[in-house]
A and B are shown apart, each in its own frame.
Chain A
């Protein structure tokens, strides 16, 4: 294995391939080198979509699409009212046809109750993983090309040994650019999304990076709200063997403005950047206090771990 969850040559379907977002980002993915094998738009089955000079078949259903293309991954660019149903259809179809599969949902603005429903639905498919929603996606850079599944700018990535996981889209790009900037590259970068309910969390990614022999160090980017960062720090304390660099966005954000009133209570006063950073530090994570020094802090962490020359 040389990455997590998606290999360089993963076969990928696009749900919503005939829409504006699906076509725009579909073309960018093909251009990057992603093995896009087709797409699904109900009612448009049998037609063809041309993305970056490649003609791709459109199917009516995911079941049909997976059977015809042997796809392992689906990326969803379906508008919010239909996104939950698209995730559920993908999960059932991957389960029925292949027994496993990865679903990456880019869509922003899915009602939270729809996501609760999706989460409980996914419980019945043990080998189906959802990344997102409201996320930039996942990318495994390759020697030539690679697999970009989502909306991230491909050209800032480079194949290497750093695993990156982040709640924030654009901040992930910042971290990626900085790791590339210090001469390192990435095994896989996962944007888990900033929605309160997510298919894949920090710990899922940390576990996978920990197991992946090609990943030698990890960059984890969090933000205020919830307690996912604290839980990730606990996990690292108990299980982590690879150096981790962490950053938490929102140290200067005004309290109470984004977090709901009662949401702050459940977390028992947790959720501030300060607490998250303290949790990171106590777990031995190398903390970047300034997002523009993530690369520098990573360099130091690698040197300290004997993974890089001074």
Chain B
């Protein structure tokens, strides 16, 4: 386990001296082992647990998993929610314009946010037909 790479040449003598003269470990007192066993018997110790939901969540929130997953979910949300809404609005608008109900619909529902020049032009064109 000794990693000589960590040693400069000038340190070899010092480290060797330290090892050779390392302070002795004092003899263990009689009864310490029993004292510790008695102490742990009195101590409450939580039981070993299987991997909890929190651990699984923590694993999920690992940046290497969580960030790509978040981007993927965000992209799916854009695709699933924003795009169909835009398409439906325009399709419905034109359909209603064709039937003559659109202006009334906009008037009643305050749908004017969706009113723009292109749509106006398209509706006028249809109405002139």
Whether both chains belong to one complex is answered with no
Residues of B within 8 A of A (CB): none
Residues of A within 8 A of B (CB): none
